[in-house]
Amino acid sequence: MASIDVEDILPKLTTREKVELLSGVDFWHTKSFPQYGVPSLRLSDGPNGVRGQRNFCGTPGAVLPCGTGLGATWDQDLLFRAGKLMSDEAKAKGAHVILGPCINMQRGPLGGRGFESISEDPVLAGLAAAALTSGLQSEGVAGCIKHFVCNDQEHQRSLYDAQVTQRALREIYLLPFQIVARDANPKMFMTSYNKVNGTHASESKGLLQDVLRDEWKWDGAIVSDWFGTYSTSEAINTGLDLEMPGPTRFRGNALGHAISSGKISLNTLDERARAMLKLVDRCAPSGIKERAEEIELNTPETSSLLRKLASDSIVLLKNNNRLLPLSKNKSTVVIGPNAKVSIFCGGGSSALEPYYAITPFDGIVSKLGCSDLKYTVGAYSHKELPLLGNMLKSLEGKPGVSFSAYLDPPSVPSRNRVDYKIVKKTDMFLFDYLCPQDTTGLWYADIEGFMTPEMDGEFELGLCVYGTGRLFVDGVLVVDNATKQRQGTVFFGCGTVEEIGIVQVKKNQTYHVKVEFGSAATNTLGAGGVVRFGGGGVRLGGAFKIDPMEEIERAVALTRDAEQVVICCGLNADWEGEGNDRQDMSLPGHLDTLISRVTKCNPNTVVVLQAGSPVEMPWIYNVPAVLQAWYGGNECGNAIADILFGDINPSGKLPLTFPKRLKDNPTYLHYKSERGRTLYGEDIYIGYRYYEALELDVLFPFGHGLSYTTFAFSELRISKDDKTGIFKISCLVTNTGTVAGAEVVQLYIAQRNPSIRRPEKELKGFSKVFLEPGEKKEVSVRMEIKYAVSFWDEAKNRWVAERDTYKVLVGSTSALSGDALRGSFEMDRTWWWNGL
């Protein structure tokens, strides 16, 4: 892929060619113009890995921790390395543009895609995303920052109007994007689905042109979220360069007509085409060939970095009586629904097929070197039944199921098979699958495999479809999800609820499981879902039916005589995924009861939570140790074991406040869309800003995270150079314990006498340092003065830095324990500013 001369090529393009440049040709590719040396670009989903161009039967890849997990590292150097790894993965997938990082704010704990975002704080989100983007773009791959802006919920996400004050918009929601634009200059921005103050983001001149391009002087390309373009003239005129996916809905002939009628000027068309040509040229240093074949980069070096990312993201929330680290020489019992399943990522567009995925159980077994580790599930946590793929064998005896595609329905005798695949995962979203020889979108598939249970009992089978489906076991109809369908939340809200059937199975007997599927065109649900596209979807799950109380009693009995117990639980992609928000903050099912009962029986119990956002913990005062392990990617299980048994000292810090209960969070009264409106009534008081303003007790504060060692802060120094505009603090950090570990220096600023109400304090910078026992290092945090002190002046429509005294607060958590350092500095004049 060679560089191009943008200004030489642009006048050579015909009007029609310029129009064609501004929309995708398929789900992932832009238009090529070989006669001008302009190649097609491939875009690919991130932000915690690189999927490539296929969702269904895609090339496996490296899965990084989810966004909140990456934010929990508080380590910009490590995140640069994570971005570099994504760059390498992009090259392997032939992808020129990666759709990420995601830096929308975690307004509240219920957001379906909250796990993709980095933090509730704009500075942490912005600096972390800048580090990721810098690493990602270090060798020519383009980062696409998303979603610009206020895409902070899934409920009616294409419809709702985020009604937010200009001050909150600037200080909270735009600020992380501003920081990334300043520090990393991403090559692309993606607009959000929603409206902001009355106008869809993809049609907002105020956001795309006035702020992003004119004020911030950013000159990259802007792409819509997929199916997030809603107009022809408005979107083009306000700055949206690329409509995705293709084929186009709003450009093509419609755009040509708008130009011929004068609704869009040729000059504006040139601006949009220039942005796309610049993007092509800026991707040239990547060396990625046009429509390159995808390969795998599953190397020891990749695994090592993934393991470090996962372990450094884990937060030690509680550790009474130094229960952790556990002993490798004591009898150990593992229970919980997340133990023998790798919950490596959330659901939706960020999900991808991993090279491999280590479960916590496997990680612990490897760590202890035993093959007879005691285990029971204790309680289920699924919303839909667990995927059945790992229990099935294809017609050839390989792991997974056989997928046979036909153009005719099962009622047609001797129909011809047009495609055949072996699929490991029984959650098949077929939006990018093209059935061979199909021209109408109407096709059928037989999805079948063989199951040999390890025990007797009643086995539940569940089937969700976007399309139609019937599930058979040994030829007997068990689930009919075709005759009568009910709207569900799977497949971005396009699919049905899970219909369940029960079969009686015997140990070591083999059963033939078969789904007769009809593509999306056979769907009977009508309108519904976030977006509707592609070939449809099939989700096949199953699990033994258990009596919840009997299983909890079994877990209690198993753990009664154990010297140490690990409960692996939390959420999963059923509960946190694109297209649907959570309904509450509770752990699903009977998990709270399980935790309470086991801990009461055995006080040497540690709870390992996996979730991308906060959960309520009614048992917290009785559980001695809790780890927050997020969705940790390929190496999540090994990382959990590394922390549990002390081979790695935990150093993660919460990028979110964990409230005690849902009603305590600042968005409780106005989170979802009401008649198409979402009122951002908490204004600038998001996350810890809100809890501190109300002096409201929380479960765990923002920035919290314990260690197996102890640290002390001392000798705070503050410097402010008005000539250079630089503000800097430094302090000594000493490891006062007996174990090597890492600590995060968190810098907060508070204005003493502001002219308007401001938060008690705000995070302005941070730095992570690793220390051996007894070692001390000077740690510095540096920034521009204007970013340290300013707030948005709505009267003047500019940032203002007021004359006043500013308090400097430095500690290891926003709670600022007794060893926090305190100082102050003066601003001797008031001044206003705009831009970066």
What residues pair up with 609 in beta bridges, in sequence order?
569, 628
Q: Which CATH architecture has domain 381-545?
A: Sandwich (2.60)
Cis preceding linkage at 410, omega within 30: no
Instruction: Decide which of 492 and 506 is more confident.
Output: 506
3-state secondary structure 365-399: HHHHCCCCCEEECCCCCCCCCCECHHHEECCCCCE
| Mean of pLDDT values over 717-722 | 96
Cis preceding linkage at 245, omega within 30: yes
Residue 532: pLDDT above 60? no
| CATH code 3.30.1490.20 for 711-833 | no
Through-space distance between the first and last CA atoms of the chain, rounded to whole angstroms: 33
Could you read off the pLDDT of 355-393 as tens digits, one per residue?
999 999 999 999 999 989 999 999 999 999 999 988 999
In angstroms, the CA 458 to CA 543 distance is 9
Q: What confidence tier does 489 reach under pLDDT thresholds 50, 70, 90?
A: confident
Residue range 723-760, pLDDT digits in tens: 999 999 999 999 999 999 999 999 999 999 999 999 99
Q: Rounded distance, CA 134 to CA 79, Å?
A: 9
Q: Which class for 197: exposed (0-12), middle (13-18), buried (19 or more C-beta within 10 A)?
A: middle
> Chain centroid to CA 753: how far?
38
Choice between 542 and 1, residue whose per-residue pLDDT is larger? 542
Report residue 283 as tokens. 């991707």
Give kind and range of the element (H or E) at residue 364: helix 360-368
Tell me, what amino acid is at 320? N
CA distances from 618 to 585, 593, 602, 656 (A): 11, 10, 17, 19
Does the pLDDT value for residue 436 go beyond 60?
yes
Q: Length of the chain, please?
A: 836
Say what the pLDDT of residue 818 is: 78
Q: How many helices (H) and strands (E) does the chain have?
A: 18, 36
Structure tokens at 157: 């996400």
296 vs 298: CA distance, rounded Å: 6
The label of the residue with tokens 């879902």 reads: 529
H or E element in which residue 719 lies: strand 711-721
Q: Residue 791 has which token pair?
A: 């707030």
252 φψ region: left (φ > 0), alpha (ψ -120 to 50), beta (else): left
Do the Cβ atoms of 646 and 617 come closer than 8 Å? no
- Whether 336 and 377 have beta carbons less than 8 Å apart is answered as yes
649-672 residue pLDDT tens: 999 999 999 999 999 999 999 999
Query: Is the Cα torsion angle 546, 549, 550, 552 positive or negative in sign?
Result: positive
- Chain Cα centroid distance, residue 704: 21
Task: Kindly tell me if the per-residue pLDDT of 213 is higher than 60.
Answer: yes
For 223, the enclosing helix (H) or strand (E) is strand 221-223
Strand, helix or coil for residue 777: strand
Of the candidates 810, 744, 634, 655, the one whose C-alpha atom is nearest the C-alpha of residue 75 is 744
Give me the pLDDT at residue 81, please: 98
Tokens 């011929």, located at residue: 260
| Across 504-517, average pLDDT | 98
- More confident of the two residues 373 and 817: 373
Q: Which of 2, 1, 38, 43 is nearest to 17 (CA)?
A: 38
- Report how far apart, in Å, the C-alpha atoms of 603 and of each of 103, 327, 377, 436 are: 39, 15, 19, 59
| pLDDT tens per residue across span 313-369 | 999 999 999 999 999 999 999 999 999 999 999 998 888 999 999 999 999 999 999
The confidence score (pLDDT) of residue 819 equals 82
Give one DSSP letter per residue of 808-829, joined into a string: EEEESSTT--TT-EEEEEEE-S
Amino acid (one-letter) located at 423: V
Distance, CA of 445 to CA of 418 (rounded, Å): 10
Paired with 117 in beta bridges are none
Query: In the prediction, which pLDDT does 528 show?
Result: 54
Residues forming a β-bridge with 145: 189
Given the residues 88, 121, 161, 225, select the one marked as catalytic: 225
Instruction: Answer yes or no: 721 catalytic.
Output: no
Average pLDDT over residues 471-484: 97
Cβ pair 715, 753 in contact under 8 A: no
CATH architecture of 6-286: Alpha-Beta Barrel (3.20)
d(CA 481, CA 81): 46
Separation in Å, CA 573 to CA 47, 153, 522 = 16, 16, 26
Listed in sequence order, the residues at least 6 apart from 586 whose beta carbon sits closer than 8 Å to its beta carbon are 592, 615, 616
Rounded to the nearest 10°, the torsion over CA 135, 136, 137, 141 is: 150
Q: Which residue has the tokens 């000027």?
A: 265
Backbone phi, then psi, for 107, in 5-degree steps? -60, -45
Q: Provide the pLDDT for residue 371.
A: 85
* pLDDT value, residue 346: 93
Q: Within a 13 Å sphere around the CA of 787, how many CA atoms are in the beta-carbon half?
A: 25
Confidence of residue 533 (pLDDT cuts 50, 70, 90): low
Q: What angle do CA 102, 105, 106 make, to 5 degrees?
A: 110
As a whole number, mean pLDDT of residues 450-477 equals 97
Task: Tell me the pLDDT tens digit for each residue of 68-87.
Answer: 999 999 999 999 999 999 99
Delimit the domains of the chain by residue range: 6-286, 381-545, 711-833
Is the pLDDT at 476 greater than 50, yes or no? yes
Rounded to an integer, what distance in angstroms lies between the CA atom of residue 832 and that of residue 491?
48
Question: Lowest-confidence range among 97-101, 167-171, 298-302, 490-494?
Answer: 490-494
| Collapsed DSSP state (helix, strand, coil) of residue 265 | coil
Query: Are 474 and 503 contacting, i.e. CB atoms less than 8 angstroms apart?
Result: no
Tens-place pLDDT, residues 250-296:
999 999 999 999 999 999 999 999 999 999 999 999 999 999 999 99
The share of the chain scoring above pLDDT 90, in percent, equals 95
Q: Tokens in use for 556?
A: 């209690």
As a whole number of angstroms, the distance between CA 22 and CA 200 comes to: 19
* Residue 115 near residue 66, CB atoms below 8 Å: yes
Q: Which residues lie closer than 8 Å to 162 by C-beta, 6 or more apart?
A: 150, 152, 194, 195, 196, 197, 678, 680
Position 530 confidence tier, pLDDT thresholds 50, 70, 90: very low
How far apart (Å, rounded) are the C-alpha atoms in residues 687 and 664? 11
At 527 the pLDDT is 58
Per-residue burial over 164-184, b = 16 or more CB atoms within 10 Å of its CB, e = otherwise: bbeebbbbbbbbbbbbbbbbb
Check pLDDT > 50 for residue 47: yes
Element (H, E) at 183: helix 175-183
**Separation CA 195–CA 682 (nearest Å):** 18
Q: What is the dihedral of CA 130, 135, 139, 143, to 10 degrees?
A: -50
- Count Cβ atoms within 10 A of the Cβ of residue 723 and give its class: 0-12 exposed, 13-18 middle, 19 or more buried: exposed
What average pLDDT does this structure show over 696-713?
98
